[in-house]
């Protein structure tokens, strides 16, 4: 089957979007800033900020000379959305900052427990501070092995980290099983649940572990405006946790948020019309990747993230090098079981169409 943009994706590239998405689509497709023709190693959402967020960013220029003292409004809005008190919510400059500071604070003198592969930038930082991670391989069906993780919590374990949906697989644990796991694990050590792709899940509040924060468990949930909300460049995110954990995090945060990020986040949080447009865009990009895989006989996992994990059928490092020679960037993750797998980001239709065009060459080379 020949893959064309028209055949697989009703979202047109080059500045136009399908009519259904037009109302929500704020601007033309951005040009990516890197040198590669297809930057598929990243997880941002090129659909970009909502129209209201764009207006708020422009209006925030008037506040640019001043340090921000207006974080309370966004915190209040998040607390109301989550049914939490304000002392159970804090903001950070991207969720990576919160993940890193919490990991280092909580796991000092001990070890972290995490699935592999998973998002691990903060765990790599912690390792540089002498805090090592014990890795638990995914199950053969590529899901997080919650039973093995619970059994692995030992005297040295200070914190459990997991990501829902997991990056790079894009798979979500069953919410009831995850809930049971988190409650049991949190009796022993704090559980940090990274919900960077929260908004993309069907019925996100049912999938989220935010309810466990409401119920008083030592569960910490991080979420970000970087992914579905299209604000990665403005570095704004939030954490939900018990007040003691929020104080622990706040005590380590070194600087305030930025005016534009605060204003944009306040303007777009929970904007249902925008979210449905952004989610439709990302889903269609994922579908486009699925079709490309199918056309090339590659196995893939159906994802709830802004990326798709693909079995290359050959050492992924080799295919990555061949793709790089064709100006396509992809991401690989640690873990022996996944040496043949690469993660492809949803990117833009133009980038995906280019990927679809050159992949047969890379596979056949
Ligand atoms: C699972 C996960 N968590 C956290 C982050 C960090 O995002 P940010 O710091 O922009 O909120 C990322 C970014 O790629 C991610 O994939």
Same domain, 75 and 90: yes
Same domain, 118 and 257: yes
Question: Which of 29-38, 73-82, 156-165, 178-187 comes out lowest in average pLDDT?
Answer: 29-38
Same domain, 196 and 101: yes
The model's pLDDT over 284-314, given as tens digits with 9 standing for 90+, comes to 999 999 999 999 999 999 999 999 999 999 9
The model's pLDDT over 110-168, given as tens digits with 9 standing for 90+, comes to 999 999 999 999 999 999 999 999 999 999 999 999 999 999 999 999 999 999 999 99
CB neighbour list of residue 89: distance below 8 Å, 6 or more residues apart: 75, 78, 79, 82, 238, 239, 240, 246
- Do 226 and 242 meet the contact criterion of CB atoms below 8 Å apart? no
Same domain, 240 and 355: no
Question: Which of 34-38, 48-52, 358-362 comes out lowest in average pLDDT?
Answer: 34-38
Closest Cα partner for 293 from 318, 261, 330?
330
Question: Among 267, 290, 307, where does a domain finish?
Answer: 267
The SS3 assignment for 156 reads coil
How many residues are recorded in the chain? 365
Question: Given the CA of residue 163, which atom of ligand 1 is nearest to it?
Answer: 1
- Do 23 and 285 meet the contact criterion of CB atoms below 8 Å apart? no
Same domain, 248 and 130: yes
Domain housing 22: 10-50+272-364
Tell me whether residue 318 is in a domain. yes
Cα-based angle 12, 18, 23 (whole degrees, multiple of 5) = 130
- Reported as a pLDDT band with limits 50, 70 and 90, residue 8 is very low
Residue 10 has a pLDDT of: 39
Fill in the DSSP letter of residue 331.
Answer: B
Question: Given the CA of residue 43, which atom of ligand 1 is nearest to it?
Answer: 14
Question: Among 267, 290, 322, where does a domain finish?
Answer: 267
Same domain, 97 and 136: yes
Whether 46 shows a pLDDT value over 50: the answer reads yes
Residue 2 has a pLDDT of: 41
The enclosing domain of 21 has a CATH number of 3.90.1150.10
Q: What angle do helix axes 51-59 and 272-295 make, rounded to 10 degrees?
A: 120
C-alpha 59: how far from chain center: 28
Averaged pLDDT for residues 196-212: 94
Whether 211 shows a pLDDT value over 50: the answer reads yes
> Which of 227, 265, 306 most suits a substitution to test ligand 1, by most atoms within 8 Å of the C-beta?
227
The enclosing domain of 243 has a CATH number of 3.40.640.10
Q: What is the residue-wise DSSP string for 191-255?
A: EEEE-TTGGGSSSHHHH-THHHHHTT-SEEEEEESSSTTS-GGG--EEEE--HHHHHHHHTT--S
Residue 169 CB less than 6 A away from ligand 1? no
Residue 29 has a pLDDT of: 46
Same domain, 302 and 191: no
Residue 263 CB less than 6 A away from ligand 1? no
Mean model confidence pLDDT for the chain? 91
State phi, psi for 171 to the nearest 5 degrees.
-95, 145
- Reported as a pLDDT band with limits 50, 70 and 90, residue 356 is very high
Tell me whether residue 2 is in a domain. no
The SS3 assignment for 102 reads helix
Residue 194 CB less than 6 A away from ligand 1? yes
Tell me whether residue 304 is in a domain. yes
Q: What angle do helix axes 95-107 and 243-250 make, rounded to 10 degrees?
A: 100
Residues above pLDDT 90, as percent of the chain: 87
Residue 69 has a pLDDT of: 87
Fill in the DSSP letter of residue 138.
Answer: P
Q: Where are the alpha helices (DSSP H) in 60-94?
A: 71-82
How far is the C-alpha of 117 from the C-alpha of 19, rounded, in Å? 38
What does pTM read for this prediction?
0.91
Same domain, 346 and 237: no
Residue 119 CB less than 6 A away from ligand 1? yes
Q: What order of strands is seen across the sheet that includes strand 89-92?
A: 89-92, 237-240, 219-224, 191-194, 157-163, 111-116, 133-137
Residue 94 CB less than 6 A away from ligand 1? yes
Tell me whether residue 76 is in a domain. yes
**How many domains does one find in the chain?**
2
For residue 3, report the distance from its CA to the centre of ligand 1, in Å.
Answer: 31
Closest Cα partner for 199 from 114, 270, 150, 111?
270
Instruction: Name the strand (E) or helix (H) holding 343.
Output: strand 341-345
Question: Among 267, 292, 311, where does a domain finish?
Answer: 267
């Amino acid at each position: 089957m020949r893959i064309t943009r028209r055949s697989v994706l009703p979202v047109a590239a080059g500045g136009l979007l399908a009519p259904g998405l037009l109302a929500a689509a704020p601007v033309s497709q951005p040009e990516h800033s890197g040198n590669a023709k297809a930057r598929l190693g990243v997880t941002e959402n090129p659909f970009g900020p909502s129209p209201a967020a764009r207006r708020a960013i422009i209006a925030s220029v008037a506040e640019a000379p001043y340090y921000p003292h207006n974080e309370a409004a966004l915190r209040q809005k998040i607390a109301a959305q989550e049914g939490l008190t304000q002392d159970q919510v804090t903001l950070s400059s991207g969720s990576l900052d919160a993940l890193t500071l919490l990991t280092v604070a909580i796991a000092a003198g001990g070890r972290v427990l995490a699935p592999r592969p998973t998002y691990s930038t903060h765990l790599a930082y912690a390792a540089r501070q002498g805090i090592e991670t014990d890795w638990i391989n995914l199950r053969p069906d590529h899901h997080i092995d919650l039973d093995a993780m619970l059994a692995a919590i030992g005297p040295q374990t200070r914190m459990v980290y997991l990501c829902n949906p997991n990056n790079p697989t894009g798979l979500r644990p069953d919410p009831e099983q995850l809930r049971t796991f988190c409650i049991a694990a949190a009796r022993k050590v704090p559980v940090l649940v990274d919900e960077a792709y929260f908004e993309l899940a069907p019925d996100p509040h049912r999938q989220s572990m935010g309810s466990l924060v409401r119920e008083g468990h030592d569960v910490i949930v991080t979420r970000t405006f970087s992914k579905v909300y299209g604000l990665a460049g403005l570095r704004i995110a939030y954490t939900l946790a018990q007040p003691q954990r929020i104080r622990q995090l706040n005590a380590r945060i070194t600087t305030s948020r930025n005016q534009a990020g605060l204003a944009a986040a306040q303007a777009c949080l929970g904007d249902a019309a925008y979210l449905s447009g952004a989610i439709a865009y990302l889903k269609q990009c994922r579908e486009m990747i699925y079709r490309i895989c199918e056309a090339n006989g590659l196995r893939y996992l159906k994802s709830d993230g802004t990326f798709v994990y693909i079995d290359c059928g050959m050492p992924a490092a080799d295919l990555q090098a061949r793709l790089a020679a064709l100006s396509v960037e992809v991401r690989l993750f640690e873990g022996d079981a996944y040496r043949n797998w690469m993660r492809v980001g949803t990117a833009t239709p133009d980038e995906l169409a280019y990927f679809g065009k050159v992949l047969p060459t890379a596979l056949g080379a």
